[in-house]
Structures are given as C-alpha cells and as structure tokens.
Structure 1
Amino acid sequence: MLCLVPLALGEEAVVESSEAVVLDPIEVTATRTKKSPGDIPNSLRLIERETWQRHQPGATVEEFALSAPGVFFQNRFNFAQDLRIAIRGFGARSPFGVRGIQVHVDGIPQTLPDGQTQLDSIDPSLIQRMEIVRGPSASLFGNASGGMISMTTRNPQSDGLELAPRQVFGSFGYFKTELWAGKQERGFDYGLFASRLGQTGWRDHSRMENLFAQLKFNIYSGMDSDWMVLFRKFHSPLTEDPGGLTFQQAETNPRQAASRNLLFNAGEEVGQEQLAVRYRKMPTAQDEWTITAHLLRRDFENRLPFTSGGRVRFDRWVGGLAAQWQNDRQLAGRTNRFLAGVDYGIQNDDRQRYDNNNGQQGALTFDQVERVQSVGPFFRNEWQVSDKLDVVIGGRWDWLHYRVDDAFGADGDQSGSQTLSQGSGTVGLVYHLADRHQVYANVASVFEAPTTTELINNPSGAGGFNPSLQSQTSLSQELGLRGTPSGWQYEAVVFYIRSWDEITPFELPAFPGRTFFRNAGKSRRLGVETRLATPTWRGLQAEVAYTFSDFEFDEFMANNVNLDGNTFPGVPAHHWEGRVSYAHPSGAFGQIRVQRVGRFFADNANTTTSAGYSLGQLLFGWKGKWECVEASLFAGVNNLFDDRYNANVRINAAFGRFFEPGPPINVFGGLSLRILPF
C-alpha cells in the first residue's frame, strides 16, 4: 500500500498548523458571492471545523456554533421538537424546528418556501464550516430572513481514498457511529458520509433513533465551469416526545414525562430525501452564472397528546430553481460587483389528521392539500467608492401564493387561497479604518410570512386558513466595529429593530401540545453583541462572547389583556459564552467551555420565568499519527457544574407546561480514525 502523507493534517490544518504555513485569503459565501468578511456590511460569524467540533458528541448543530453572539439555541435533547434557533429574537416563537431564519447547506436551501426549516436531517459531524449572518437578509433570500445560516459539508482533502470512521458513547444510552469516505480524482471528487444515532434519553419517554447518509460529487467540467450533485437521506423510525412540565413537576421529578404524552404515546417518525444539482459557469473573467435545482420529499407522522385530530400525517414535496448572474466590472474607475437573480420554490403538503385514541389511530378528522408557490427576483450592488469606503445596496420582491384544497368535506368545503407579496431592501456601508479594522452600518427591511403549519392551525377548529393571521414586517438598523489585528478577533455591534404584526404562539386548553398563532401590534428589539478571541499562543487560545437583548412589545392586546411594554418570551436579556483551549505538541488537547444564560420569560404575560443557569463542558483527549493513520481518543463532561436548568421552554404553553428540564452532569467519549490516502 502506498501512503501519501499530506503536509498538513487535512481539515485541521487551517487552525493547528505552524506559522510557516501560508493561508489562503478567507472568503465567505453567505451573501451569495465570495467576499472577504471585512467587506460585508453585516454582522457575520465564520466558524471553521477544528479539533473542538471534531470531538463533540455529534448530536445537534449547536455543538458546531460555539461563541456566536446574538444566537440562542434551545432544545438539544428532545429530538421530536428539533433544535430551536433564535437570532436577535427571530425564531424564538417556534414550537418546533426553525422559523424566521434562512438555512442553506452547500448552497441548497433547507428553508421551505413557506419559511419552515427542519434541522433534523443535518448531521453536525459532516459540517466543514458555518457562516452565520445576524440580522435581516431578506433583500437576498426573501421570506423568513431575520438571520442566515450557511453550512458547507466536508470535501476530500487529498488525492487518493480517505477513510474516517468515528464512534461515540455517552450517558443515557447515547451511541453514535459515523463513517466518512472521500477521494479526489482527475476532474472530480466525491464524499460519502453515513451515521446512525440512538439514545434512551435522560427523561422518561425520550428514546430516539435516526440514520443519515449523504453523497456529494464535485465535477470540474472545465477551467471555467463546475457541477455539484448532492443526495441526502434521513430516516428516523423512533422519536419519543416527553413533553413539557409545570414548574412544580420539574422541581419534584425533572426526569418524568408529561402524563398525557405517555397516555397518547407522543412522538414522531420521519423519512426524508433530497436531491440537488448546481452548475456554475464563468464565460468571461468578469461574469459568473449559477443555476441550482433541488427536490425534497418528506414523509412525516406524529402523535400529539390529545384525542381530537391528535395524530397527524403529511407527505411533502418541495422543488426549487434558482438562477443568478454575477458581474465584476469597474464603475467610475472603482471595483464594482453587480448581482441579479431569481428564486422559485413550490411546496405541496398532503396532510391528514386522525383521532389519537391513546396512541392508536382513530377516525379521520381532517384531510387537505396545502400548496405554496414563491417567486423572488433580487439584485445587489457592491461598489468600492474609495480606498476606504464600500457601499452596498440591494432589493428584492417576493410573491407567495397559498392554496388549500379541502378533501374532507364533512364540515363543508374549507378550500381557499391567499396571496402575499412584499418588497425588501438594504443599504450598507463599510469604512476601512485600517487593513484589519472596519466600521460598518446597515439599514434593512425583512418580512416573515406565516408558514402553512401556522396558517392551518385555526383556533376555530375549522379547516382552511386562519383568516386573522398576517405577515410580520421589520425594519433593522445596525452599527458595528470589528477587526483582526495580529491574530486577534474582536467585534462590537449595536442594533435596533422595529416590527409590526409580530407573530406569536399560544396554546388552547382543548388542544394541549398544538400551537396556534396570532399577530401582536408592534414590537421593538434593542441589542448589543460583542466577541473577543485571542490568537493561538503556544497551543493556547481563548474567546468570549456576550449578548444583551432588550426586546419588548410596544402594542399588543391578547384576550382583552393589554401586554404593552411586556418582554419577549424565550430570549434571555443576558447571554455569556467563553472558551479556553490548549493543544500540546505531544498530541494532548483540552478545552473548557462555559455558558451563562440569564433568566427569561416563558409567556407573553410575563407571569412565568425560566431561571438562569450556567453550563460547562470539559473536553480532553489525545491524537497521534503513524504513517497512514491518524487517531484520536477523547472524552468530555457536559453540565460540568451539575446545574438544574430547562433545556427548552415551550412558549405560552397551556396548563403551565412550559418546561423541559435538561440532564444533570453527564459524560461522553469516543475514538476517531483517519486513514490517509493510499
């Protein structure tokens, strides 16, 4: 066997190689073209895959996004509800999955035309880099763009076949097996990843199991063109939902499941496939065309903890097509980039509801097909006005058409349609104080249309749409300072966002576990985000991030109660994160990460509070290399301080069932191998 040993250790080379290695300029693509982070008039956190991500349990995307100010994660442990993400408060209302935030993986939208995103089919162990744009990005991505998360999955690092198996064990029956294989050939490369994850769970009725696979081809069809072909498969045959607890229940026995969740066997089964093709062509040195097509199918079934309509099934098909043109030319003797394109998406959900008779399927109570079509033409112009000043202007118009075809008929024909359209714009400035320091500012608008799930959850109990639910619109203003002097990284941002018709969740006693939605009148968000990271010195590196959030309703009447001046639920006013890591030349490494989350409200009325908490993680291990093999042994301790806390808070839950307690101190460990090209 011929062993070809690369000069650097593949995916860790960027962050752990010696100072003698010359690094390529850093570029990001979250604004739809390759740009230096210092030239973008937005708050952006770029996270590259390194040792600390490689040796996490590999359960949720939150493990990858360390120390990202302005970003708040909840619900790492209830896989039936999926990971929840809030960026500057956008997404905090979500009862499951992600709302108000656009998510792309390898340039392929994971956010549906109606604004929903499920993260269950994204394996964090496959992520190579993550770019998080904080603040409105609707001028580029349209509906539900209160923030943007762009992920890139792993590619092979060297010529020849590369194999990388990994095995992780943990408390509460945690068990994950992974295998990565990749190879570069003349004119193309490919990567194959597969994983299986299972756990019994700390809380009662929280078992889960899923399987995931991805195959990605990059084909270089010429000096000026390339193709990417991508296929993903996700299957989750078992995911139990332990449900929310009251404060007293959580204090008395935090491990228990809600009694109704046990009675009705609450949980879900999911199957999903996605196919995508992207083609890029540079006919001239100044022009680049990109065309992307994607198709997704999701088969979903869940059991909610009530009888009437408590068993839900849908078969979802989603298709999309995007085309964009990038032109780089001089304007008044200065560098100018113009971007124009259009996105089209279509979503078709064939949905039924049945009675849930103590976990068994009962009579059909609801049967309809929900369709959403979206069209969004956009443009963006980035002009270097002078050596120190860049100006960005962009705009987009989105048209969304919703239609329901009622096939149930027993309660009359509830078929209907609804059309929403909205323009979005942005203006941004970047002033370069020096080569590695910038001041930037932007003003941007964003809108968020109700998702189909939100529209069809009609409090009246009838089919069709909820006629009183409208789009949410916002106007954002932001001022920031950032820099990267001598290996340091710093940023400080202040923002102010005004919103109208804020979409907020609530539950009804007759349907506990089902979330309904309504509009608040006006709201405002005032926030500060800061981050400081040190350069690596003799293997030692540290960073700290702090977020302050002052979010309030200005005008809001709910059930004849005046909620003016109340604080947004689900978002802490204060959020700290810190990390110190060390890598020794012998191969030993270690890290301690601490997170402090301040208290926050669980309901719009601000009558119930989720207490603040402190979480810590200690990670340590050793890695070595012998000819063609690299190996790592690692172990970690989660909830290092054994704090009692709520891993998730169900906003405005009925019967006071707000809280999903997180596990106490627990451990994990594993072994990873990398068999170098041969």
Structure 2
Amino acid sequence: MRARRSWPSLCLLGGLAALQAQADDEADVLERVEVYSTRLEGVSSFDTPASISVIDLDSGPERSNANAAEVFAGIPGLLARDRQNNAQDTQLSIRGFGARATFGVRGLRLYADGIPATMPDGQGQISHFSLFGGERIEVMRGPFSALYGNSSGGVVQIFSADGTAPTQGRVQFSNGSYGNNVIGAGLRGGNARVGYHVAASVADSDGYREHSESRRQSFNLKLGLGVGEQGRLDLVANRFDAPDAQDPLGLSRAEALADPRRATAVATQYNTRKSALQNQLGLVYTQPLGQGHSLRAMAYAGRRAVEQFLAVPASAQANPLSAGGVVDLQGDYGGADLRWSWQGELARRPFELSAGFSADRQEQQRRGYENFIGSTLGVRGRLRRDEINDTRNSDEYLQAWWQFAPRWSLLAGLRHSRVRFDSDDAYVTASNPDDSGKVDYAQTTPVAGLLFAPAENWRVYASAGRGFETPTFNELSYRADGGAGLALDLQPSRSRTVEIGAKWRSCGGATLEAALFRADSDDELAVARNVGGRSSFRNAGRSRREGLEMAATLPLASAWQLDLAYTRLQATFVDGFAICTSAGCTTPAAVVPAGTRIPGIARDQFAGRMQWRGGAYAAAAQVLALGPVTVNDLGSESAPGHALLNLEASRDWRLGQSRLHAFARLNNALDQRHIGSVIVNEGNARYFEPGPDRTWLLGLRWDWNDD
C-alpha cells in the first residue's frame, strides 16, 4: 500500500475528538485540496518533490478582491508588489525570476483554469485573473517549473470553483480609502450532468497618487458538462476591460520623499494612460479511457487590444528610427495542449506516466504613433511604426512518477521547446529601413526529484533541473547599438536549479515546510541602455539566485492560528558587464562589477499573521516586512526596507440559508512611509512607486444557497 494513502486514515482516527468539537467551523480546513500544478493525477502535493503552495480564496485575510497582490502575502519565495498604478500589472517574481519586468509579468508561467495567461514569448499578465470566481491559486517554485516550458522560473495558476448543487450565490461590496470601491457578484449551481459558475466585478479607484484614476471590469464563466459516463467538458470564457487607466509614472528618490502622492510632471503633461481589452474562450476536455488511461485536451483562443500613451519627449521622436510615443497593439492568440496519462504499476510498484504536446501562437499588429499634434501633447499623432509580430511555440513533454519502494518515490520529466519570432515590417521609409526579421530558439529541459518518507507525516526531498527564458518580443524590438531592426543577437537565458526540502504536517492542521535552493543562469538578460523611452537588452553573462524558504501554519488553540513565512534570497551577477548610463550612448562604458545584486529583488522577506476566531467574530493582525531593494544594475540606488502592520476584524450573521459577513481592515496601521514597488532600470532614474499611508477598507458580503 502506498504510504501516502494511510495518512488520512491515521489522521481520521487521531483527530476524531477534535472534529466533533469543531465540526462546522473547521470542516473546510480539513478537506483535502487536489493540486494540479505537478500534472500528477494520483499523487498529492505532499508527496511531490517540489515546493508548492495553495491559496484558498475563500479564507485568509479580508480583501476587496480587486488586486491580485492582496492574495499572495505569506507565500515564501514569491514577491507580489502592488504598484498603486492600474495602468500596469501587479509585479510578480518567484525566487528572483521575473524581477526585471517593468510592466506585465516575465520569467514566470501563468494559467487561469488551465488556459495559458503567458504568451509564447514569455510575456504574461494576471489582470484577467477572476478573484471573485476563483476557488484557489497554486504556486509552484523550483526545478519542476521547467516542465511548463519557456520562461518558467515559477508557475502561478488560478482555478475557478466548479458549479455544483445546491445553487449558491455571492454579492460583495467594499469601500476604501482614496475612492477604492469594488462590487462583485457570483452564482454557481448545477446537477449531476451540468454545472455553471459565473462571476463579475467592477473596481473603481481614484488612486492613492495623483493621476492614477482607473476602472477595471471583469467577467468570468465556467461551464461544465458531463460527456458519456465519465468524460467532462469545461468551457471557460472571460472578459477584461480597463479603459484609460491613468499612469502616474515613477518618482525620483527626492520626489518620493517630498510628496509620495504626486505624479511625475510629464505624466500629466502627456496624459499618460493605458487601455486594455481582452476576450478569451477556452475548452478543456477530460476523458478516462479505462485500465488507468486518461486523456486531456485543451484549446483556447483570445483577442487582446492595448493602447498606451507614453511620456516620450517630442524631441526624442525626431530620430527617424523612433517608434513614437503611443503604443497600439491589436492581436489574436490561441493554442492547444493534448496529454495522455496512465496510472498502473511498474515492477509491482505504483507508477504514473504522462506525455503530451502543446502549441501556442500569438499574432499582433504593433503600431506606434507620435504622442503630439503640433503643440498639443498626449494625443495620437503621425504613424511611426507598423509591423506584424508573430510568435509561436511547439513543445513535447514526458513525465513519470514511480514509488519504487514503500518510502521512496522518484519524479522525472523532460520537455523540448521550440520558440519562433517573426516580424514583418510595413513601415519602411528612406530614413527608416525594413526592420523585418526572424529568429528561432530551441531548448530541452530535464528535471528529476527524489522523495523519502521517514514517517507518515514527514517528507524530505531533493530535485534538480534545467530551464530557459527567451527574450520577449518587446525585448527583441530595439537593438543595443541604436540601429534598425530586431535584436537578433540576444540569446535565451539558461538556468540550472537544485533544491532540497522537507515537509511536515500534523493531524491537528499544523504544517512546516523548508527548502534550500540555488539557480545558476547563463546569458542573464539585462538592460543595455534606455534611450527615448525605450529599453534595449543584452546578455549579461552568469548570475546566481540562492536562498532559503520557510513556512509554517500553527494552530495554537481551538480559536487561534499563526501563519509564518520567511524568504532569504541572495541574487547576484556572477560576471561583471558594461552598460550605457548616458543619453544617446551606444558603446557601454559603465561597468557593473561581479557580485552586484540583481535589482528588484529583496534579500529578506517576512510575513506573519495571527488570527482569532470565536463563533461569529474574527480578528487578525498581519505583519509584512521587506528588506532593501536595489533598483538598477549598478546598485547605486535602492529602496529602503519596511515593515507594515495590517489589522482586520469581521462579524457573521446566519440568516436561514444565507450568511451576512461584514469586515473592516486597516492597512499600514502605523502609517509607515514606504516604497511599495520599484521600476527596475528606469531610464530617467524615476525608480520609485510609493506605497500608500494608513488606509481603511469596509466591506459587506452576502452568501446564500437554496439547499
């Protein structure tokens, strides 16, 4: 018998009395959550040689569900930073991967209900993650992330709850400081054959900083249909609309200290703003085939449009190679994944094997316009760029798990990825030559992990693997020497990652996890220069990210629980390299010494939350602390560290088959001035995005069912 299968029985016997005493309030805590990040159908995350965290979106801190950064506090190794700027996406990095992104998410793989939210070039966004419709978020860190292909320094997946009987509904309204108002609603239900879950929300904000007003509207539908006796077809549709979200831009250190709520002068001068509209549809079909075999097929398609007004000076656009100051992207994307799995025995020991193929494509028309007409700034002017950018990937992967002894198991996988970039330039003039070009990348990424179970409630493991990250199309778009055409000399960054870890859990709900890790990368992608509002990139040589992660959940008594998470991360450039620091520079002269810290990465990160729940009442105190963060490759400037205290309280009322939940939250209760996020290597030295002062949030949620 598999060791992991005996564990629930032992917990059931050992915790029978506790279950009786806490029946209603604790039942949800003891439910087993199935984790899909490992792509293993018969193996729990506890028995997987990898670092995996699951966020239950129906529990944890009280929140407005308007900002994804709210839900990630307390996940070791993951840094999520709210930019107080809804024109840009939440900043996400895992173990230092993704920290260089100045917009969107790079270096990580993102999925929503199994549908990729990361494009083939590695650029992604979480703006359309539906927190109102979500049931949980899974975060995978370490070597096994490489099984997801290009730019998989970590994997973040959100899953919507399935529609089941009885019919359940939810409406929530929250109001907070600086005009932050959010209303969301959801409805789900179904029967043995059909299930549905629909959720929608509208989030309005005046913004903490000047010139940061925004509105975000989202809609998410998950429809499940039984096919035959055991098959299932899930349809997932979502829409995200954020028109004219104002962008206050970053501040210099002096500006941030003097007035953290201000916007950069050019932000209002050019009316910097961004509009994004995305519609997406996906299908996921699963079918057991008998005798342990199963099939999963996924297909999706979507369209995304982005218009962004930048603060590129009109003088910089005099360069005939300038792409202007207005970005206009219109594009379609889609893809498919087919996977076969088998659960059986090898040498009379439990065995699981899966193999699959995936292909994705994104085609977008990229236009650039001047951001002025005559002396009027912040309007769309003359066309300065017009091209079709096509990115596609095709991947094959294989994965096997084998419990070759009662206390030992092995997980291994292999993925081969091919990524192609193709640009067709339609804007050709006498002074702006044809910039068309193409480049192909290919990489094979193996990974393996060994797990040992010294006791029923204890696991230790070691894993190792290789990964890679191609430059995104944005990073290929501008050459470091200032010439025309794509930066076809850029190479993908390749990494080698090792990890050792331990996991422990008790029948009473206590858990402890710890991991030591190191990732060595070759050809690290770094900024070469910033000119005219555009960044160009180069391969900077070797880098290293190594550190320690620890997390604990400790029920201290029947009404008290303590959650702790700590990350120590040392991220440095192993090789020195030269960069440009002056305007118009094409020959790098400033040297980044070997051993310099990689910017955007905190060396220390801590989260602690003490929660009390007594009947209908609950309260919690949360501490979030972050160490200093360097903001440029030279390490010449940094954002100071900070520690914030957040307080919350709530009250429930049972009204027949419904529940009314009122909550209040006080963020930054000690009113600490701090830098909430940074813009790495910002060309004008406006690196800093201040976090808000003391703010409040009041909310009311009504849940009901017809059972």
Where on the TM-score scale, by shorter chain, does this alignment land: which range?
over 0.9
User: Partner residue of 1:6?
Assistant: none
User: Partner residue of 2:567?
Assistant: 547
Residue 132 of structure 2 aligns to a residue whose secondary structure is: helix
TM-superposed deviation, 1:33: 2.9
Which of 399, 410, 413 is the aligned partner of 2:418?
A: 399
Quick check: 1:182 aligned with 2:188? yes
- 2: CA distance, partners of 1:370 / 1:393: 35
- 1: CA distance, partners of 2:164 / 2:648: 26
Quick check: 1:196 aligned with 2:202? yes
- 2: CA distance, partners of 1:600 / 1:61: 21
The answer to whether the Cα contact below 8 Å between 2:129 and 2:158 also exists between their aligned partners in 1 is no
TM-superposed deviation, 1:247: 0.6
Sort the Cα spacing of 1:120 and 1:16 in 2 relative to 1 into closer, same or farther, 3 A: farther
User: Partner residue of 2:9?
Assistant: none
TM-superposed deviation, 1:518: 1.9
Quick check: 1:519 aligned with 2:539? yes
Alignment deviations for residues 71-107 of structure 1 (CA, whole Å, 9 cap, x no partner)? 1112342111210111010000001111111111111
Residue 124 of structure 2 aligns to a residue whose secondary structure is: coil
Quick check: 1:528 aligned with 2:548? yes
Quick check: 1:318 aligned with 2:333? yes
User: Partner residue of 1:482?
Assistant: 503
Which of 93, 100, 103 is the aligned partner of 2:107?
A: 100
Sort the Cα spacing of 1:222 and 1:536 in 2 relative to 1 into closer, same or farther, 3 A: farther
Sort the Cα spacing of 1:668 and 1:604 in 2 relative to 1 into closer, same or farther, 3 A: same
The answer to whether the Cα contact below 8 Å between 2:297 and 2:338 also exists between their aligned partners in 1 is yes
TM-superposed deviation, 1:646: 1.1
Residue 198 of structure 1 aligns to a residue whose secondary structure is: strand
Quick check: 1:493 aligned with 2:515? yes
Sort the Cα spacing of 1:65 and 1:476 in 2 relative to 1 into closer, same or farther, 3 A: same
Sort the Cα spacing of 1:364 and 1:137 in 2 relative to 1 into closer, same or farther, 3 A: farther
- 1: CA distance, partners of 2:241 / 2:69: 21
Alignment deviations for residues 119-168 of structure 1 (CA, whole Å, 9 cap, x no partner)? 11113232211111112335421001110112111334532x32211101
Greater shift, 230-239 or 559-568, is seen at 559-568
For 1:268-347, what aligned pairs fall within 5 Å after superposition? 268-306=274-312, 307=314, 308=317, 309-347=324-362
Residue type at the aligned position of 1:57: S
User: Partner residue of 1:45?
Assistant: 53
Residue 250 of structure 1 aligns to a residue whose secondary structure is: helix
The answer to whether the Cα contact below 8 Å between 1:60 and 1:123 also exists between their aligned partners in 2 is no
The answer to whether the Cα contact below 8 Å between 2:132 and 2:199 also exists between their aligned partners in 1 is no
User: Partner residue of 1:235?
Assistant: 241
Residue type at the aligned position of 2:493: Q
- 2: CA distance, partners of 1:19 / 1:565: 49
TM-superposed deviation, 1:67: 0.9
- 2: CA distance, partners of 1:123 / 1:251: 35
User: Partner residue of 2:448?
Assistant: 427
- 2: CA distance, partners of 1:458 / 1:317: 26
For 1:624-639, what aligned pairs fall within 5 Å after superposition? 624-639=653-668
- 2: CA distance, partners of 1:349 / 1:459: 23
TM-superposed deviation, 1:345: 0.4
Q: What runs of 5+ residues in structure 2 fail to find an aligned partner? A: 1-21, 318-323, 579-587
Which of 596, 600, 605 is the aligned partner of 1:566?
A: 596
The answer to whether the Cα contact below 8 Å between 1:63 and 1:124 also exists between their aligned partners in 2 is no
TM-superposed deviation, 1:24: 4.7
Residue 266 of structure 2 aligns to a residue whose secondary structure is: helix
Give TM-score scaled by structure 1 length: 0.95
- 1: CA distance, partners of 2:556 / 2:120: 42
TM-superposed deviation, 1:596: 0.8
The answer to whether the Cα contact below 8 Å between 2:133 and 2:198 also exists between their aligned partners in 1 is no
Give the total of aligned pairs.
659
Alignment deviations for residues 40-80 of structure 1 (CA, whole Å, 9 cap, x no partner)? 11111122233335x30212222222311111112342111
- 2: CA distance, partners of 1:640 / 1:506: 41
User: Partner residue of 1:557?
Assistant: 577
Quick check: 1:255 aligned with 2:276? no
Quick check: 1:80 aligned with 2:66? no
User: Partner residue of 2:677?
Assistant: 648
For 1:378-397, what aligned pairs fall within 5 Å after superposition? 378-397=397-416
Residue 105 of structure 2 aligns to a residue whose secondary structure is: coil
CA RMSD, aligned part only? Answer: 1.7
Identity of aligned residues (%): 29
- 2: CA distance, partners of 1:286 / 1:395: 22
Greater shift, 446-455 or 533-542, is seen at 533-542
- 1: CA distance, partners of 2:181 / 2:257: 29
Alignment deviations for residues 488-517 of structure 1 (CA, whole Å, 9 cap, x no partner)? 100111111110011123652x424x3332
The answer to whether the Cα contact below 8 Å between 1:439 and 1:481 also exists between their aligned partners in 2 is yes
For 1:112-131, what aligned pairs fall within 5 Å after superposition? 112-131=119-138
The answer to whether the Cα contact below 8 Å between 1:95 and 1:515 also exists between their aligned partners in 2 is no
Residue 255 of structure 2 aligns to a residue whose secondary structure is: helix
User: Partner residue of 2:15?
Assistant: none
- 2: CA distance, partners of 1:672 / 1:176: 11
TM-superposed deviation, 1:459: 4.1
Greater shift, 496-505 or 135-144, is seen at 135-144
- 2: CA distance, partners of 1:505 / 1:665: 35
User: Partner residue of 1:666?
Assistant: 695
- 2: CA distance, partners of 1:568 / 1:253: 28
- 2: CA distance, partners of 1:667 / 1:506: 42
Residue type at the aligned position of 1:413: D
Residue 362 of structure 1 aligns to a residue whose secondary structure is: coil
- 1: CA distance, partners of 2:177 / 2:184: 18
Alignment deviations for residues 325-350 of structure 1 (CA, whole Å, 9 cap, x no partner)? 00112111101101100110011010
Quick check: 1:267 aligned with 2:291? no
- 2: CA distance, partners of 1:613 / 1:76: 15
The answer to whether the Cα contact below 8 Å between 1:578 and 1:595 also exists between their aligned partners in 2 is yes
The answer to whether the Cα contact below 8 Å between 2:661 and 2:702 also exists between their aligned partners in 1 is yes
TM-superposed deviation, 1:610: 0.6
- 2: CA distance, partners of 1:25 / 1:212: 30
- 2: CA distance, partners of 1:170 / 1:118: 25
Alignment deviations for residues 596-646 of structure 1 (CA, whole Å, 9 cap, x no partner)? 101121111111011001112111110111112210111111112211111
Residue 595 of structure 2 aligns to a residue whose secondary structure is: coil
The answer to whether the Cα contact below 8 Å between 2:179 and 2:206 also exists between their aligned partners in 1 is yes
